[in-house]
Amino acid sequence: MPTTKLARLVCLVLLSPLIRCAKARTGGKPLLVTSVVSALAIVVAACGHLALTSAIAPVPSRWLFTFEIMGGRFRTPVELVENSAGRLRANALGPPLVTFKTVSIVGERLTLEGSSRFGGVRVSGRIASDSFDGRWRIKLLSGSVTATRLRIPVASPAERLATFDALHDTLVRRYYDAAFGGVNWDSLTHVYRVSAVGARNDGEWLAIVRRMLSRLHSSHLDVAAITLADALPTRGGGASTDESQFIKWRRIDAQVGYLRIAQFDEGPAALDRLDSAFAALVGLPGLVVDVRGNPGGTLGVAMRLGDYLLPPRTPVGTFTTQTPSVVVDYSGYKVDEFLQLLRTRGAVRIMSGGRAARPYRGRVALLIDGHSGSTTEAFAGVLGELHLATLVGERTAGAMLSAAEVALPLGWVLRFPEADFRTPGGQRLEGHGVLPDVVVKRHWYRDNQLDRAVSIARQPR
């Protein structure tokens, strides 16, 4: 039965006893009008809410949410479904940066509450049949958020099975560790296969698959209903990326400069931005490079940073797939070139340093923390091994592998590690991270890590 007709039927069922009661108690005369009308108003409001909720937010339905966050954007598909108790749920189907625990629709207002890596998150705004417009808040931070409804057909058990098997086969062929870290991959997938096929909705299927993948204890391993490039469209460089948001610098005083790199991008705009930073700071005797919270990214800026801080043709580390051959060197700035070489040769050594017109040779303090990951860790690792910088802060994330993405059936995307990484000294950073030379736990309101790094940068080299 259509939802609007169902709502009308519920209204009639609820209204009938009230009408009969009014007639019986007034003898058909309009006495007690106020109380009867009040009761009717309450019921009508409830019925109106029921009809409006069903009409505005069809269940199940999928929406693409776009969050405006400090000059950047984050997108995630969100599925609205009812659980077994008939309560509305919101399943985030994008990269696991946010999860929603409660959802409510009152009139035309949709409210989602959940968690993120930065704390509790609340999303609230006006929802219509195909659009949403509202605000998000995480602690003291807030911004705008919009959404559009996606027309995605409900998957059949056979389609879920085909998607699950495609995931299994892809990892057999291309996962960086053919032994899966000692885990019997065929046995593991057999355990989860039946549950995944029987999933009642996309969110349930995704949760089952993610539990299975977590058994491999690997970074860069996930499934989502969106590519990473689409989820983070302002990351990676290019026309959509405002590099002034991610590369910033200033003079702290006459002795020390400060360079903040929030993510490693590539492309001319990113490289030019970094060149401008060093043009302003290269003459100072001390430099603090802040890569705290930098999750990594592509090669361009990282390789260019190496040109300023490393000696000519310095090995940064080696990537190795499950089928390595002879190791070849790569010193370019483009991740696509690197990946093509990696997939054809199976092993690539990254080389950087010495190409800057005026390299920096002062005292360097590198700020790192538990959210410094991937490419950031490779760079911190080589600076630490060669004693070219003093590492300050906290151990890095321990998430250093080279990742690839493969499209699966039903619009799912598998992101997986295709190559391991070791530093020039043979250290494996995955699962271990980079330990700072000077451990400083960050104070809750004062940036004592930066204070310590500045004091180190002031010391003679």
pLDDT, tens digit, 9 for 90 and up, residues 96-139: 999 999 999 999 999 999 999 889 999 999 999 999 999 999 99
Report the pLDDT value the prediction gives residue 31, as an integer from 0 to 100: 35
Confidence tier at 244 by pLDDT (50, 70, 90): confident
Rounded to an integer, the average pLDDT of 165-175 is: 98
What is the rounded average pLDDT for all residues in the chain?
Answer: 87
State the average pLDDT over residues 435-442.
97
Could you tell me whether strands 390-393 and 438-439 are parallel, antiparallel, or unpaired per DSSP bridges?
Answer: parallel
CA proximity to 348, closest of 315, 373, 306, 313: 315
For tokens 């080299």, the residue is 461
Q: Residue 198 pLDDT more than 70?
A: yes
Q: What is the pLDDT of residue 46?
A: 39
Backbone φ and ψ of 135, nearest 5°: -135, 150
**Which CATH architecture does the domain made up of 231-457 adopt?**
Alpha-Beta Complex (3.90)
110 bridge partner residues:
105, 125
What pLDDT sits at residue 26? 40
Confidence at residue 461, expressed as pLDDT on a 0 to 100 scale: 80
- Residue at 339: amino acid letter: L
Burial code (b: 16+ CB inside 10 Å, e: under 16) for 76-87 equals bbbbbbeeeeee
According to the model, what pLDDT value does residue 376 have?
A: 97
Q: What is the DSSP letter of 297?
A: B
- Please state, in angstroms and as integers, the Cα–Cα distance from residue 384 to each residue in 25, 367, 423, following that order: 87, 12, 10
Segment among 18-22, 272-276, 304-308 with least mean pLDDT: 18-22
Q: What is the DSSP letter of 451?
A: H
CATH architecture label of 61-150: Beta Barrel (2.40)
Mean pLDDT of 195-216: 96
- Most confident region among 71-75, 81-85, 310-314 by mean pLDDT: 310-314
**pLDDT at residue 42 tops 80:** no
pLDDT of residue 241: 67
The gap between the terminal CA atoms of the chain, to the nearest Å, is 78
Can you give the pLDDT at residue 71? 72
Convert the pLDDT of each residue in 280-295 to its tens digit. Answer: 999 999 999 999 999 9
Q: Which helix (H) or strand (E) holds 259?
A: strand 256-261
Taking phi over 0 as left and psi of -120 to 50 as alpha, with beta for the rest, 181 belongs to left
Whole-angstrom distance, CA of residue 67 vs CA of residue 114? 15
Q: Which two tokens stand for residue 307?
A: 């040109």
Kind of pairing between the strands at 314-320 and 413-422: antiparallel
pLDDT at residue 409 tops 90: yes
Name the residue with higher pLDDT: 272 or 50. 272
Residue 191 confidence (pLDDT): 96
Q: Identify the sign of the CA torsion 75, 76, 81, 87.
A: negative
The CA–CA distances, whole Å, from 197 to 62, 202, 214, 356 equal 20, 11, 18, 55
Residues 6+ apart with CB under 8 A from 157: 197, 198
Q: Strand, helix or coil at 369?
A: coil
Q: What Rg do the C-alpha atoms of the chain give, in angstroms?
A: 28
Mean pLDDT of 411-433: 97
Higher-pLDDT residue of 57 and 323 is 323
Query: Quick check: 44 pLDDT over 80?
Result: no
In three-state secondary structure terms, 232 is coil
And the tokens for 141?
């931070």
> Which residues contact residue 428 at a Cβ distance below 8 angstroms, ignoring those fewer than 6 apart?
420, 421, 422
Q: How many CB atoms lie within 10 A of CB 128?
A: 13
φ and ψ of 133, to 5 deg: -145, 120
Is pLDDT above 70 for 445?
yes
Which tokens is 46 given? 């409830």
